[in-house]
A and B are shown apart, each in its own frame.
Chain A
Amino acid sequence: MSAETPHEVTVRVWRGEDRATGRFEEHTVGADPGMVVLDVMFKVQAEQVPDLAVRWNCKAGKCGSCSAEINGDPKLMCMTRVSSLPANEPITVAPMAAFPLVRDLVTDVSFNYEKAKAIPNVRLSPRGPDGTRRMYQEEVERVQEFHKCIECFLCQNVCHVIRDHEENKQAFSGPRFFVRLAALEMHPLDTHDRLEMIRAKHGLGFCNITKCCTEVCPESIHITDNAIIQLKERVVTEYYDPLVWVKRRVFGEKESTR
């Protein structure tokens, strides 16, 4: 253990169904070795607040359900050790701010599921004569980084374009979906061309590369460097380099989707 385990842990946890009338409630429970913030919530539920609304599934950092703001930092509750937080003050746990509140720590993340519907899926070139598709580890690895995304939506939650401007939600899909678009764009065998769509429909231009998304990603995906900036470069080349434009149109490397 990195720090010695205190006997008790106190949390200030947000309660309520409405941001205007909700409030923080303080609860103290016994501490266990290695405890994570989600364990504290379980104890609060079992001992004091049976109806405390918390969303979780795997408790192993794999499903991306338990996102919250812990002492103001967007994090997974199941991967945040109590011992990693300041010992002598209560731990503040609040729901993600960018999404509508359902109750207590649970938010309505349907915005993300709606955005996902607007992205056309892969369409691969046909299998080779031997019935297989060949791709090499180096090219696959680039995309695998993006496939690590557990859809915790923490990056969506911190992106100021969404968080501070409700009106942008319409025209901006957010970092999670730039990651998805980058994965498709860099798939060695995909035949769709989504560049026009990335520019016009997903609002890549709104992003001013503040890198806040990258900082909070629990999967350490280099969202800005490896996904967003790459996409921006491709969009620029596509739209402002006439040669590339003509080549794409004439030779039809990828079929465009709008």
Chain B
Amino acid sequence: MTPTIERDEREYDVVVIGAGGAGIRAAIEAKMQGARTALVCKSLFGKAHTVMAEGGIAAALRNVWKEDGWDVHFRDTMRGGKLLNSWRMAQLHAQEAPERVLELEEWGAMFDRTPDGLILQRDFGGHRYARPAHVGDRTGLEMIRTLQHKAVELGIDVLMECTITKLLLDDGHPSGAFGYWRQSGRFILIRAKAIVLATGGAGKAWRITSNSWEYTGDGMAMALESGADLVDMEFVQFHPTGMVWPASVRGVLVTEGVRGDGGTLKNSRGERFMFRYIPEFFKAETADNEAEADGWYENKKDNRRTPDLLPRDEVARAINAEVKAGRGSPHGGVFLDIASRRTPGFIQSRLPSMYHQFKELADIDITTEAMEVGPTCHYFMGGVRVDPETEASTVAGIFAAGEVAGGMHGANRLGGNSLSDLLVFGRRAGLGAALYAAGQRAPGAVDEHEVEEAARRMVAPLERGASLTGAPTPEAEDPYRIHSDLQTTMQDLVGIIRTGSELEEAVRRIGALRERLDRVAVKGGRRYNPGWNLALDLRSLLTVAEAVTRAAAMRTESRGGHTRDDFPNPDAQWATRNVIVRMRDRQLALATEPLAAPPPELQRILSGEPAKTEPAIESTVPTPAGGFR
């Protein structure tokens, strides 16, 4: 069929959508396997969300604590996730993370060092030993730049400021991806044999969030539309410590490294309230008095971990409760104090960006004053359901890695476990996609009707906008207003503490927003038009918001990042069930499926025994048989 839509066209073996840590690592792997590889991103190369990561990348390198190992890391990850994780992903992650970190070093990353010249590791919430490797509080920058340079070295084609809006399939196999260049507004069709989704999360659906504009859930929505399953969508992580003041920076992240390096949470009475919020599940491993908690930083053998470093869901709920009880800080958060506990020199050298961020944006000197912090929407545990070994989604030829994928973190992610996840599963996804592509003669055929329909849908807001004269009317909806209304809905009704009636109300409101989106009108042209770009992103954002809300309504218990006021306790029946979200006939369809139990050897590790065997790291990854011409 002859193309009817004017567009640029490219052809590759593998197209990786998203250039954060996961996407770049996937592209590197695919390229090293010999696949013709394209790396596509909505913003400039090197600016993806990963650049913002602060505290560290978790890997049992055993440089600081010899007692650490993949088994301990595995156990911490599973317990942090309330045992709802894909055990196989958690295992692969713990086993492979150290090698992936050393590989980053090989490619030029310069982590902070121990006195004997090895990679230094720091304390983080939920980790038994000091584990995350880091570069002060700008670990993500180091990681993305290192990967970026490696991608440049390999000559990977990077298509930047290019937004993909639709995946194209031909009889169940990928034919490519369709989208537009932000700078020119021109359409682009990238034909490819295999697709890796690495588009990150969807935190932009909430008002108070640490996420950037890119986080609109495009990958999850496109996966759904292509027929793939999502899993664990009800689990959204609210990071306990975002800035709360001034209003303009509300939600900006304050790294967990502050607590890892000795900072402590206090309420308006000066109490270290976390001691009152230690759940049964973590009692045995958590200090119940200040002396022991403070002693733990130096001596982990004889002291238990400070409750300030309980997993994030626990800390976020505790802060929420303190504020509700009227013991919050002046601007509705609590205090995070490192000033009275560490020297100014230590704080400035360990937490330079935090120092800078508070000084510049809030006129607070964190070496002399406490910070005001409160929960902020941060991370999606849920996402595309994948095969642990290859990151293949449930649709042939479509792979997913990084925050867009689900399973690895269960009901709650530990700090530092995302950056390591990106590398471990980014690599595996790139390998999986390259192998898949090697088995295909050519990309599938492109259905021109589908492309035409997608293109028409994309320009519709501009066509409606062209006839617009004055301010938006009910017949011509404004994208910024729809976005803002969605953020209010999610913030108020699908936040940290949820309840059945509110979730129902949220589903209703999201439905109404979707109707309004059908009438969205945008002024201007296609060339770098943020209003238009937002109007297109909103489609994904609404789909993902609905998926989260309906999954949250389905899970009638409280576990990890999902807390129900009307079902305040964990329910044994839900302990081994995942909520799966699919799209059928353009409607979301939800189901629950049983979660496989870990094999006996891992069960033993979970109950506290060390692993008997060293990990056989590479054995699970097949090497490509075919290769590329």
Contact = CB atoms under 8 A, between A and B. Distances in A.
Interface of A: 1-2, 17, 32-36, 39, 45-46, 50-65, 79, 81, 102-104, 106, 108-109, 113, 116-117, 120-122, 124, 127, 131-137, 140, 143-144, 147-151, 184, 187
Contacts of B138: 62, 148
B245 A34 contact: yes
Nearest to A47: B480
Given A45-B530, A121-B153, A50 B110 contact: no
Given A57-B213, A61-B356, A134-B117, A147 B135 contact: yes
Contacts of B110: 135, 140, 143-144, 147, 187
Nearest first, the 4 closest Cβ-Cβ pairs linking A and B are A34-B246, A51-B524, A50-B531, A134-B117
Given A58-B49, A102-B183, 7 more contacts: A51-B529, A51-B532, A61-B353, A63-B212, A133-B102, A134-B118, A137-B113
B478 to A, nearest CB: 7
Interface string B87-124: 00000000000000010011110111101111000000
A1 B246 contact: yes
13 contacts: A60-B52, A60-B357, A61-B353, A61-B357, A63-B212, A117-B152, A122-B107, A132-B102, A133-B102, A137-B115, A140-B113, A144-B135, A151-B46
A116 B152 contact: yes
Contacts of A148: 138, 141
A22 B152 CA distance: 35
A45 B43 CA distance: 19
Given A57-B214, A103-B528, A50 B478 contact: yes
B363 interface: yes
Given A53-B528, A113-B45, A144-B110, A62 B141 contact: yes
A102 B183 CA distance: 7
B248 A35 contact: yes
Interface residues of B, number: 68
B60 interface: no
B611 interface: no
B59 to A, nearest CB: 13
Interface centre among B44, B145, B248, B524 (most CB of A within 10 A): B248
B215 to A, nearest CB: 10
A46 B522 CA distance: 11
A59 B108 contact: no
B480 A45 contact: yes
B361 A46 contact: no
A108 B361 CA distance: 28
Given A132-B118, A136-B113, A102 B528 contact: yes
B106 A124 contact: yes
A62 B530 contact: no
Contacts of B118: 132, 134
B531 A51 contact: yes
B531 A187 contact: no
Nearest to A132: B118
A125 to B, nearest CB: 11
A53 B252 contact: no
A136 B116 CA distance: 7
Contact of B142 (A55, A61, A117, A147): A147
B248 A121 contact: no
A174 B323 CA distance: 50
Contacts of B150: 121
Contacts of B361: 34, 36, 79, 81
B174 to A, nearest CB: 28
A32 B43 CA distance: 28
Contacts of A108: 183
Contacts of A54: 530
B353 A121 contact: no
Contacts of A32: 246-248
Contacts of B530: 45, 50-54
Contacts of B116: 134
B81 interface: no
Nearest to B245: A34
Interface centre among A55, A57, A117, A143 (most CB of B within 10 A): A57
A147 B145 contact: yes
B253 interface: yes
A138 to B, nearest CB: 9
A117 B152 CA distance: 6
Contact of A34 (B105, B362, B480, B481): B362
A53 B529 contact: yes
B108 A36 contact: no
B113 A33 contact: no
A60 B254 CA distance: 11
B453 interface: no
B464 interface: no
B45 A135 contact: no
B120 to A, nearest CB: 8
B47 A63 contact: yes
B516 interface: no
Given A50-B478, A79-B361, A135 B527 contact: no
Nearest to A188: B110
Interface centre among A2, A62, A143, A150 (most CB of B within 10 A): A62
Given A32-B247, A62-B141, A147-B142, A121 B152 contact: yes
A140 to B, nearest CB: 5
Nearest to A118: B152
A65 B522 contact: no
Given A33-B247, A50-B480, A104-B528, A2 B149 contact: no
Contact of A63 (B51, B249, B531, B532): B51
A106 B153 CA distance: 27
Contacts of B160: 113
Interface string B149-164: 1101100001010000
Given A57-B212, A61-B356, A103-B528, A46 B52 contact: no
Nearest to B42: A57
B51 A62 contact: yes
Nearest to B349: A141
A114 B530 CA distance: 26
Contacts of A55: 43-44
B523 interface: yes
Given A39-B248, A136-B117, A45 B531 contact: yes
A113 to B, nearest CB: 7
Interface centre among A33, A56, A59 (most CB of B within 10 A): A59
Interface in B186-214: 212-214
Contacts of B183: 102, 106, 108
Contact of A59 (B153, B252, B527): B252
A63 B52 contact: yes
Given A50-B523, A65-B44, A135 B141 contact: no
A9 to B, nearest CB: 12
Interface centre among A35, A116, A121 (most CB of B within 10 A): A121
B24 to A, nearest CB: 14
A146 to B, nearest CB: 9
B52 A81 contact: no
Contact of B112 (A33, A45, A113, A137): A137
B213 A56 contact: yes
